[in-house]
Structure 1
Amino acid sequence: MKQDNITAKREQEKRIVSLMIRTYCKGRHGTRQGLCPECQALQEYALLRADRCPFMEAKTFCSNCRVHCYKPAMRENIRAVMRYSGPRMMFSHPVLVIQHGIESIREKKRLEKENHEA
């Protein structure tokens, strides 16, 4: 994958995680503009992790990665964000949800094939 594609993929991931954190913060913490301090810290952490990810070229989603670079507490926080925001994104960003579903199916098939060949 070319560096431009990796950069675009990284920026897309950062945009989506930020969107999901905003959705979570607004729904759970009642923020109208910006993020509460807890969600702001989580977003900064998630963006830093995305910037430093050495597997960006090959990975699909962090949940499928063999190396979990999030600290345990932050990992639980981001899971809560995903559980809350994921279903709600269907109404606000249906194209992103459909793309995520397609990529998830492809990744599942790839992993199954990889496991059968091993």
Structure 2
Amino acid sequence: MEVYCKHKHPDLDREPWLSPDSQGTSNLNPKPLLCNECSALLDYSVDRRRLCPLDPKPTCKNCKIHCYAPENRAKIREVMRFSGMHMIKRGRVDMIFHYLF
């Protein structure tokens, strides 16, 4: 999400994203810097994933239940398409497998 936000919203102010579960606790993982729009989309995605009734949780493209609202589904597809290709072009060879399957 941070890759997408950095390239698609370069002029907007970005703040560290805090997961709904963190409740102010800090861990060693760096927090992604996101604008308000991307932060809201990531919050929505985390909520959808948490509420998923399936176990094990499939990837969204292989899921038979589409729990995203149509506008958020289109937006997350745009983010994933951009971010996946960006990481492949930057040397993340493992992303090729994920992108194709």
Same fold (TM over 0.5): yes
Higher-helix-fraction structure = 1
Match among 9, 29, 42 for residue 9 of structure 2 = 29
Identity %: 41
Which structure 2 residues correspond to residues 1-118 of structure 1 after superposition, within 5 A? 21-30=1-10, 34-57=33-56, 59=58, 61-90=59-88, 91=90, 93-95=92-94, 97-101=95-99, 104=101
**Number of aligned residue pairs:** 81
Runs of 4+ off more than 4 Å: none
- Give me the whole-angstrom Cα distance separating, in 2, the residues matched to 1:56 and 1:92: 32
Q: Which secondary structure does the structure 2 equivalent of 1:76 belong to?
A: helix
Alignment RMSD? 2.1
1:83 shift after superposition: 1.5
- Give me the whole-angstrom Cα distance separating, in 2, the residues matched to 1:28 and 1:101: 20
Instruction: For structure 2, list consecutive stretches of 5 or more residues without a partner in the other structure.
Output: 16-32
Instruction: For structure 1, list consecutive stretches of 5 or more residues without a partner in the other structure.
Output: 1-20, 105-118
Q: TM-score, normalised by structure 2?
A: 0.69
Distance 1:49-1:29 versus aligned 2 partners, 3 A rule: same
